[in-house]
Chains A and B, each alone.
Chain A
């Protein structure tokens, strides 16, 4: 008799959300986290003595409302700072402030109109994030919801629906060229679209990633106490719901008995059994390392290699002995350096050939500007996501990291003269480092590139798109499944709903 109804592998945001949902419905759930603390991509790290930065993700567009309410996260101490304003930095100090779908500058009206339109599209697409993706076969589809959400798109009205169809698969470069004139704004939208992806602004279908971002929230949020506080609140909420969390318990493999996943074997050699096993870690690692080819069909197993998972985002952490000065920019805003849409595209190009961009584009926040205690008094820490790092650097990872750091610091120095002199410690995490630290194949933040051809019923693979996998008793609940990553929890919650609906736990 198994001691648990379900074993969750991986205590990231999705794993916690899934576990909490299952436990909240009365299931006995054991969550196994490989690291010392749950949280996955959401965490806080002291990268230099006294300097605390987000370990990976530095903001969230917002947690899935079902996760927020269903886990009672506010009760468990999760709070956010007011939504971040974005400053599109200019090297001359001619910054542009963007917030709540409004921007200053010459394009103020055009941007407001564009934002309204895209936000409308995002609004009608958002509900699809909250259900299992439909399949082409007449199996397992939530027809009622699909019909309602489909009608919701049509209800945009004839003109807007036409626009929707015209734009749904367009690239963001064409959109900003059509609609805007301000390079700062075009650069910002192009940057936000491609953040965490392996697409340039001109890559086919890139706009859909922007819609996906808007579907979650318009402005980024910073949890009070840092990303680690978000993870801690989720862990507390999961435990309160009855989830047993075991940290520092990496799983070696999934136990398969009688053609069914019946539990796991930890790296320490302990066998744990449950009615079902839910993997919230990377789908490729799940199938290739934890299950292995012997329990899977050859065609399916081969295709697990084809889940594209290139990471292009690098993570920069700086310890600063003083206050950096970005020519007057608000240090509590999100600082984006993406001077034009061409500049973003120009950063994507070298990565394709294993090279480092000359002038990387980036998004920086200063956590220490938001709350004390994250850096020693009078000092600051800067956290930045820098794109596009080569997923397969020609010169090797070490050389690429050094060049990426140098080029990034040069860009920062150009926007904040004197910043380099303030640096007491610098750390650049390349996609390869992110892969090693967080188990994200290729360093891709979504555990599989988020792109049209890897969305919905193709995420991560057709046979596993609705969270159930070809191996009976094994489910997926991570960002590698629909709707994908970001600090959001929708994949995990969807998976739990699916498991509960099928009565499998």
Chain B
């Protein structure tokens, strides 16, 4: 007898899953330009990345977030569990709050980063890039918690841009009192949606969480309400530009998860990624703490820095040099920033070069089918590169 499987036997015909919004995103994707993300088809660009980026910074943009991996952590010891798992203090996160966090392996190297949502005293949701069920379950031993992957049980959109609060208001969701990193619930068509004031653009924005069967009605409702503000679906290309301006890092782009790295020197610690501000050294033991303490004592090998590069050629994929001669790190993300009007970059450098003294970037600029080698001096600058006040304003400005 053939055992019945949850996965249909012809799954190979659609190797990439479609999100609950696919019936709307597919026709909107005029370029049919898709990429894989965590096993899902995801739009890289719907029609014009510049216009999509412009919607993020000047209007209202909608990004399909469904492929984000989500885990529900429930139980009496959920906070204690998350405090052992992550480097930040999950117990200090109040109900209805969200925070950015990171978890490490024993060696104190990052496994992933993500956002942690606290829905109740004993109920959190982790939202992240990579899959970690094994690690999360291993970490649960000895704690009164359950950990469950709920990626497919939740559909989500990210509504970002200066008009996002106004659009939500027009759609009947009054978020004017909602502060950054807080959540609110609203009724919608007999059900409920959760709105969190979070995002990955460094702008005013919200993430909208719902049951998969609410996805299409909600999309239609939101786009009808947002039409006067020219609400527009955006692809990953535009989002990536916005996140670089915001100085945000992405797992498997700016660092490799420790459990996926093959080369011994590739994993990075929170200290090396500039995330030491999150570590709560006093909350008790967490996985990787002793290794991180030792690293704090002896100093880190690497540092993540933000750079400005002269000119307007993106330094993506470039190598950095000290004194134009000695290799000194590499660029992990770079773009010419329309908002800052500068070429900006994120880079990993050996810690001694974190100050940027005599640091140069070698860029291969493609000019009409011919690469031209540029050696340009870089300047270390603070992140975020772009940091508008509207991101934090409560109530948000009406437009």
Contacts and interface: CB of A to CB of B under 8 A. Distances in A.
Contact of B135 (A292, A294, A298): A298
A424 interface: no
B142 interface: yes
A296 interface: yes
Interface string B272-305: 0000000000001101111000000000000000
Interface residues of B, number: 17
A310 to B, nearest CB: 21
A107 B138 CA distance: 54
Contact of B289 (A259, A300, A301): A259
B115 interface: no
A470 B284 contact: no
A298 B84 contact: yes
Contacts of A181: none
Contact of A293 (B142, B288, B290): B142
Interface string A265-309: 000000000000000000000000000111111111110000000
Contacts of A300: 106
Given A299-B105, A299-B106, A300-B106, A294 B289 contact: no
Interface in B107-144: 135, 138-139, 141-143
A288 to B, nearest CB: 9
B78 to A, nearest CB: 14
Contacts of B106: 297-300, 463, 470
A367 to B, nearest CB: 44
Interface string B39-82: 00000000000000000000000000000000000000000100
B284 A294 contact: yes
A302 B85 CA distance: 13
Nearest to B258: A299
| Among B105, B141, B143, residue most surrounded by chain A Cβ atoms (within 10 Å) | B141
B31 to A, nearest CB: 43
B290 A292 contact: no
Given A298-B135, A298-B138, A470-B290, A293 B105 contact: no
A259 B285 CA distance: 7
Interface in B299-336: none
Contacts of A259: 285, 289-290
Contact of B84 (A293, A299, A470): A293
A296 B286 CA distance: 8
B135 A293 contact: no
A293 B80 CA distance: 11
A12 B149 CA distance: 46
Contacts of B80: 294
Contacts of B284: 294
Contacts of B288: 297
B289 A292 contact: no
Nearest to A292: B142
A301 to B, nearest CB: 7
Nearest to B138: A302
Interface in A335-372: none
Nearest to B293: A259
Contacts of B289: 259, 297
Given A298-B138, A298-B287, A293 B143 contact: yes
B287 A297 contact: yes
Nearest to A305: B141
Interface in A253-268: 259
A294 B142 contact: yes
Interface string B323-367: 000000000000000000000000000000000000000000000
Interface string B126-166: 00000000010011011100000000000000000000000
A294 B84 contact: yes
B102 to A, nearest CB: 14
A298 B139 contact: yes
B236 to A, nearest CB: 32
A292 B359 CA distance: 48
A305 to B, nearest CB: 9
Contacts of A294: 80, 84, 142, 284-285
B133 to A, nearest CB: 13
B87 to A, nearest CB: 12
Interface in A460-474: 463, 470, 472
Nearest to A302: B138
Contacts of A472: 290
A308 to B, nearest CB: 18
Nearest to B104: A297
A500 to B, nearest CB: 23
A299 B138 CA distance: 8
Tell me which of A259, A299, A300 has the highest count of chain B C-beta atoms within 10 A of its own C-beta.
A299
A298 B290 contact: no
Contacts of A296: 285
The 3 closest A-B pairs by CB, nearest first: A293-B142, A297-B106, A298-B139
8 contacts: A292-B142, A294-B84, A294-B285, A297-B289, A297-B290, A299-B106, A300-B106, A301-B138
Given A294-B84, A297-B106, 14 more contacts: A259-B285, A259-B290, A292-B142, A293-B139, A294-B285, A295-B285, A297-B290, A298-B85, A298-B106, A298-B287, A299-B106, A299-B287, A301-B142, A470-B290
